Chain A
């Protein structure tokens, strides 16, 4: 039997932020997630560090929060951020009607911005449509949400916290109070006790609350995104208009991510992108960056936002919802949901404030000042990384970009495994040994293995070999992991077209007919 001060359910960005915040305040905290860290909405989004500009009219409070958090995250999580800057561009005459109120809104909410000439915009972004009517520079950035979550958890662990992924948890209700969670881990059930349980399960918050008899009106809202293989932009490109579908293109490593859409769904589980959504996003993207039409869709994915309150998909609040369920007659249970990636730290701070108050602990939040692991100093020099892992300078640069100061702590395993995304053998081993990866899908989230043009279909077997060669996995485990990885990649075959579809079918033939992955036991042979 284990006893904690606080147990956080949900290993997304908010849960990991709460874990770190509490651990820095000396509160003994455990994080559990039924799946992998950042495997739902926290990993299935644009990876956009908002400047706040998008919300200056629709939600000025969020805009202001984003603007402030943007500056904080650039300081405390710099290794997960690419400082791209962003442009809002007007492509239609009616967009110009929005321009004035947009500029006023930016000033009012203290969102950093600068109107630039069309010529300057085209100089910064040569692939922008020549039809643009106006452009505003803002402080957007591109952020790696997977590494943000993992780094938060690692930082928390340094301060004595614990974290378990692939552990499903259900709050235990006893005499009107939540006293801990019952977890299921590797098929075994166990009870962990705590003073307070924090429900940080995003779109699942209503489902978890219901397990202790609380009605919480969370409205799961699906957003679809499309990944293109060619990064032709330097900045985040936003459509200058009232928030709508397909407005944003974010440069991410060597790709571009286009999105999103907004549809309410009944059940947040097993959400897949649809063809109509992809087509709509492509059409909107093309209006800003014409070459999008000729680009290769390498993947599409959908995440589920935890919206609440009334209104349509775009007007229901994107603000945060922090509830002490004492008001529902349940002690020791707190829900934090809603919000957005950019404001996760603030959400965590407010949650930790509430939790500490309930626990009678007086400790100040330190997360706005202290950097997370990876960002706590200057990264190691390029040459050192290149030499240490025997990789080319581009790969070494990617390693430093991804892991910051953690780069030199990775095991000294030489060579490159994934060529599209420049993933080294060291990163794969490191993911398993130090970053809680349990399988190759988890490795993908931590290293970007298989996020490039070939989608891992030409390298995942090399990664499976690493599992048996450098780690203690059995052949069966490595092959099972390989199949799971491929099945996940192949789930979106229905939205692919052209060469990418051809490549997917080719990979299917390669693994199923040459490799024979569907028959991997003695009894089958």
Chain B
């Protein structure tokens, strides 16, 4: 039987942030996940608090206290304002690698969505953050698409920019055979010359910005953008995209990197079927196809998110049992110490990151980040006996 201090279930934003934090604190950590989850499919931008009181939020920190006092069951209220700030600060500091996130904690930026609308978000990959609404206002934009990349809709984006937002915009669809964004990104990662050549054939002189779908490489995005800008003489940015999403994949790799460096084993493809909290630690049954294994772990952090989670049977040492199958209808409840709560009782050794996807507030990946971070902080305090 495997023995670890911390077993994290789920390898999206919450799980990988938690695993990074506990492994950094020298607690032997393992990640178990049945699939990659929804972070890899996300647009890769980290929403914090986009809307509140029916209005868009410009300065999220200014309304955060009010927000948590009015939404006491929201994960932000459980995590608390101070730790939310810590979580975001650490994210900026610890994940500055092949992809850079930009944005400051004080101000929401508005970024171009795949439908040509703008949405408020806090942090975004630098390639995307170059196309804020403020930057585009008063500029002339050419929205670049690829004929067979059908999920990207440059004509719609350009029309929305022009008609709804008053930004002068045209579109072009380049003739490429790739139908999926990831292969196109991998191609551009090694060779951007062909596409630069086909763009050079167009008259780009009058455009201030070229808006690309987010396919400008996987890890060399910054360099590729500079190559494009130098050759074309026009500023370049990426819009957000629907899944399958290259920025989601970049974020996934960014989150995995420090875990791997800290020696965290990521058991991908393993479904956790049962977790038993004995009071002294947890027994986890995991299965991959027909192979079964058991893991003994001092604590478990459940970070299975909302969208992709399967059923897990959870048993408490003092006899209570929960069968959790989120399937998007509800989310895990935790107490203030991030311990999983079921029917009013807290498990002793099972913690949870409680994501709460909510279009009402546009809090998306921000909740995953904060609750993942906070559960790790509580686990570290608990295992060190303080």
Q: Interface of A with B (CB < 8 Å)? A: 415-417, 458, 461-462, 464-465, 468-469, 474-476, 478-479, 482, 498, 501-502, 505-506, 508-522, 524-525
Contacts and interface: CB of A to CB of B under 8 A. Distances in A.
B162 A475 contact: yes
Contacts of B95: none
A456 to B, nearest CB: 13
Given A475-B164, A505-B328, A461 B118 contact: no
A464 B110 contact: no
Given A475-B162, A514-B113, A505 B56 contact: no
Given A416-B150, A510-B242, 18 more contacts: A461-B114, A462-B150, A468-B156, A475-B160, A475-B163, A479-B115, A479-B117, A482-B115, A501-B328, A509-B357, A511-B115, A513-B357, A513-B364, A515-B114, A519-B119, A520-B117, A522-B165, A525-B56
B170 to A, nearest CB: 12
Nearest to B44: A514
B258 to A, nearest CB: 26
15 contacts: A461-B114, A462-B151, A465-B153, A468-B155, A475-B156, A475-B163, A502-B328, A505-B307, A509-B307, A509-B359, A513-B357, A515-B242, A519-B119, A521-B164, A522-B166
A196 B153 CA distance: 49
Given A468-B159, A479-B160, A510-B243, A519 B117 contact: yes
Contact of B242 (A461, A474, A519): A461
A54 B160 CA distance: 53
B145 to A, nearest CB: 10
Contact of A501 (B155, B242, B327): B327
A516 B159 contact: no
Given A475-B163, A508-B359, A514 B153 contact: no
B58 to A, nearest CB: 11
A506 B307 contact: yes
A343 to B, nearest CB: 42
A48 B117 CA distance: 42
Contact of A469 (B38, B155, B307): B155
Contacts of B159: 468, 474-475, 478
Contacts of B115: 461, 464, 479, 482, 511, 515-517, 520
Contacts of B163: 474-476
Contacts of A465: 153, 155-156
Given A513-B359, A519-B56, A502 B327 contact: yes
B99 to A, nearest CB: 18
A479 B43 CA distance: 20
Contacts of B47: 513
B357 A514 contact: no
Contact of B306 (A416, A468, A479, A505): A505
Nearest to A482: B115
Interface in B11-61: 38, 41-43, 47, 51, 56
Given A476-B163, A514-B43, A464 B308 contact: no
B156 to A, nearest CB: 4
Contacts of B217: none
A501 B155 CA distance: 31
Contacts of A525: 56, 110, 118, 133, 165
Nearest to A419: B150
5 interchain residue pairs of minimum CB distance? A505-B328, A512-B359, A516-B119, A465-B153, A475-B159
B155 A476 contact: no
A475 B160 CA distance: 5
Contacts of A416: 150
B275 interface: no
A502 B307 contact: yes
Contact of B164 (A511, A514, A520): A520
B213 to A, nearest CB: 13
B316 interface: no
A399 to B, nearest CB: 18
B332 to A, nearest CB: 16
B156 A461 contact: yes
B116 interface: yes
Given A475-B116, A520-B164, A525-B110, A461 B153 contact: yes
A55 to B, nearest CB: 42
B38 A506 contact: yes
Contacts of A520: 115, 117, 164
A355 B386 CA distance: 90
A506 B162 CA distance: 29
B379 interface: no
Contacts of A474: 159, 163
Contacts of A517: 115, 117
B282 interface: no
Given A515-B115, A519-B117, A462 B153 contact: yes
Contacts of B241: 514
A464 B359 CA distance: 22
Interface string B63-75: 0000000000000
Contacts of B133: 525
Contacts of A514: 42-43, 113-114, 119, 240-242
B308 A522 contact: no
Contacts of A415: 150
Contacts of B116: 475
A502 B362 CA distance: 19
Contacts of A521: 164
Contacts of B242: 461, 510, 514-515
B119 A476 contact: no
Choose among B38, B110, B153, B241 the residue with the greatest number of A CB atoms under 10 Å from its CB.
Answer: B153
A204 B162 CA distance: 44
Nearest to A498: B327
A403 B307 CA distance: 39
Nearest to A505: B328
A397 to B, nearest CB: 21
Contacts of B327: 498, 501-502, 505
